Amino acid sequence: MRTWLSRTAPVRGLLPAVLAVLAVLAVLELSGCTSAGQLQDAGRTRQVTSWPSPQVLWPAADVSPVPTPSATVQPPPVPVPGVSSPGDDIRAVDVLALLEKDPAVRTEEREALAGCPGCSVRPPQYRDLTGDGRDELLTAVLTADRSAFLHVYTLDARRPVPILALQTLPGFSADTVGADLLVHEPTSEVTETNSTYRWDTVRLAFDTRQIRATGPAADVPGCPPSGPTAEPARPSSGVATPAVSGAGAGAGTGASPVAGGARPGTAPVATAVPAAPQPSAARRP
């Protein structure tokens, strides 16, 4: 009779089967096979070589700070002595008489006023550049040595006041956009300098300057970029000008230097040059 606590005899062949199962598990463990999601050791990680960093040779030299230049305060323009208008319209002022009486007019301009080969005085043009509803007088003097001088006058208490005297580069032209005066000067065969002068309640003051491509290169992207630029080269001789203004020698073109309306055309947009790709970090096997 067999009870619940009886002893049973061992089954033959069981021990060899258990040993075989243990041997298979040992082989799987040594081969690195693990279940999904478990970590395993893949060996030593390869070293990554970094690029060298800059090494300073000497510290920066001690320099004295550059002093900030003080702003140049110009006295306000004064009326031209000995000239007046019979009314409140500057069109009644004689242009030649006004230029002859203006102390800012230079000697070579006066020779042009007297008459000389190749000299001329541009017909006066009238534009409201101060925003008071009354026109200002604009004229230009072309001298025998191919110099050109632009003059602008306003009327104050029936007396003409010079608010701009500007020596320009050869072949200059000018136009107005609203109350702004734009002066165009050919700085090279393929570029033109466009300077803007704006009323500051005292005079026509320099406002902005841009370079615009002309000729065959005008349609080439990025040739040259537009934007604020340095002053173009000017001759050593001086002329009374506002605080910041262009100056240079040159003869005017056949067209009148002042014409209504803005000159069409915009400056070309520079094409961004893509940056060179950076080399990837080298790996040592």
Domain extents in the chain: 118-253
The 10 Å CB-count burial string (b at 16+, else e) for 70-100 is: eeeeeeebebbeebebeeeebeebebeebbb
Residue 37 pLDDT level (bands cut at 50, 70, 90):
low
CA 142 to chain centre: 31
In this structure, the number of other CB atoms found within 10 A of the CB of residue 164 comes to 25
**Cα dihedral 172, 173, 176, 181 in deg (nearest 10):** 10
pTM of the model: 0.56
- pLDDT above 60 for 106: yes
* Separation of alpha carbons 119 and 143, rounded Å: 5
Rounded distance between C-alpha atoms, residue 250 and residue 145, angstroms: 8
- 104 pLDDT band (50/70/90 cuts)? very high
For the cut 50, the answer to whether the pLDDT of residue 272 exceeds it is no
What is the end-to-end Cα distance of the chain in Å, rounded?
A: 75
**pLDDT of 168 higher than 70:** yes
Question: Which residue in 196, 212, 190, 179 sits closest to 246, CA to CA?
Answer: 196
With beta carbons less than 8 A apart as the criterion, state whether 158 and 84 touch: yes
Confidence check: pLDDT of 196 > 60 = yes
Q: How far apart are CA 80 and CA 69, in angstroms?
A: 32
User: CA triplet 252, 254, 260: central angle to 5 degrees?
Assistant: 85
Quick check: 154 and 160 in contact, CB under 8 A?
Answer: yes
Instruction: Say how far apart CA 93 and CA 198 lie, in whole Å.
Output: 23
Q: Please state, for a pLDDT cut of 90, what percent of the chain lies above it.
A: 43
pLDDT category at 235 given cuts 50, 70, 90 is: very low
